[in-house]
């Protein structure tokens, strides 16, 4: 599973906190390009979309705190 989050919207600190929270569910890796954070992780194929959506929702929740 690989997905991108725009740096203008998602703070790195919130992404790192989310990666730490989700470490029991998936092993995520964080990389960067000029405009995006690239998150990759290993999860069961049939759960990829669910985990990705929940992860992004979690990041947004941290941002709103």
Buried b (16+ CB within 10 A) or exposed e, 45-55: eeebeebbeeb
Tell me how many domains the chain contains.
Answer: 1
The confidence band for 65, taking pLDDT boundaries of 50, 70 and 90, is confident
User: The pTM is what?
Assistant: 0.90
- What strands lie across the sheet with 2-6, from one edge to the other? 2-6, 36-42, 27-32
Q: Which two tokens stand for residue 58?
A: 């979690």
User: Domain limits at 21?
Assistant: 2-64
The proportion of the chain whose per-residue pLDDT surpasses 70, expressed as a percent, equals 100
CA–CA dist 41, 52 (Å, integer): 9
Averaged pLDDT for residues 26-47: 94
């Amino acid at each position: 599973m690989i997905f991108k989050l725009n740096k203008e919207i998602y703070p790195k600190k919130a992404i790192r906190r989310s990666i730490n929270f989700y470490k029991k569910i998936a092993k995520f890796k964080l990389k960067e390009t000029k405009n995006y954070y690239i998150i990759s992780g290993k999860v069961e194929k049939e759960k990829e979309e669910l985990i990705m959506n929940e992860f992004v929702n979690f990041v947004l929740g941290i941002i709103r705190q």
